[in-house]
Amino acid sequence: MIQTYIYELVNYGIAHHLMEEADRVYVTNCYLQLFKLDSYNDPEGEVASRPVQEILNDMLDYAYENGLMEDNTVTYRDLMDTKIMGVMMPRPSEVIKTFEENYKESPLKATDTYYAMSCDSNYIRRDRIAKDKKWVTNTEYGPIDITINLSKPEKDPKDIAKAGAAKQSGYPKCMLCKENEGFEGTFTHPARQNHRIIPITINHTPWFFQYSPYVYYNEHCIVFNSAHTPMAINHATFCKLFDFVSQFPHYFVGSNADLPIVGGSILSHDHFQGGHYEFAMAKAPIETPIQFNGFDDVTAGIVKWPMSVIRIKRKRYKAFN
């Protein structure tokens, strides 16, 4: 049956533009090597298409039953299915070229295509994202988004114990570093062979753009510094934020504080988070207007919201620097 699974997955890759028909034989042979097979024949008769996770689950079961996986825990399965998907992924240069060509038509087309690839590659695991609980509830402050993220799988106790005993390599330095692209993964660091990142320039500095594998809202993206440098909120931060939304006007972007507890979860690497979504806070009304003398074209006010929020608006962004 493994030959049928390979055939199904190759068909999936072609149908979802992760590879071309011309790549079929090459990718099939790569899978024969991965599964330690020395022969292959296409299955006879018609083979119905299935969701990619069903195909991968069958492949993972085969891998474990045939000694290709040390254990059948979530960690081992995630490491293996990412390796499987990585075989058919386009090279980073191809992904970047496609993104740039689409961007010439529109930023929306560029991000739509890139996001679809991030999902189709199983980097964003749709089957797990579907478990998340999301709803909108009406309050005195207006509708508020409520989300419970269930996408991150529970670790098997055996994996937790093994991870605790594992030697830390320090490569990549963190979950956001550019060196994650194509990384095989370990017990303490997720595999990323099916991950691709897009280089961008904001405020004259090299950064990267990617999607979060744990989608808290539509097209949840992460914009991160090309260098492993700590988060810092300063004048340049706002220049970068405005520069990003000028390049991707259909997205919002924001920064966590550069402080522990109330700040970002990875303070060691400068990054922002954004996406194709409008939060309830952005729709909430102004409760108390504020005026800034000398800035007549700026409107501002305290937002009617359960936490302290000030909204500042200007019709057109003008560079700070």
pLDDT per residue as tens digits for the range 155-199: 666 655 665 566 667 899 999 999 999 999 998 899 999 999 999
DSSP class of residue 156 equals P
User: Angle at the Cα of 134 (from 188 to 190), degrees rounded to 5?
Assistant: 10
User: According to the model, what pLDDT value does residue 165 have?
Assistant: 61
250, pLDDT greater than 90 = yes
Cis peptide before 260 (omega within 30 of 0): no
Q: Name the residue with higher pLDDT: 52 or 264.
A: 52
State mean pLDDT over 73-83: 96
According to the model, what pLDDT value does residue 170 have?
A: 87
Give the strand pairing for 133-139 and 252-254: unpaired
d(CA 152, CA 214): 7
- 158 is written with which tokens? 């055996």
Residue boundaries of the structural domains of the chain: 2-68, 113-283
* Whether the predicted pLDDT of 31 surpasses 90: yes
Q: Output the pTM of the full model.
A: 0.92
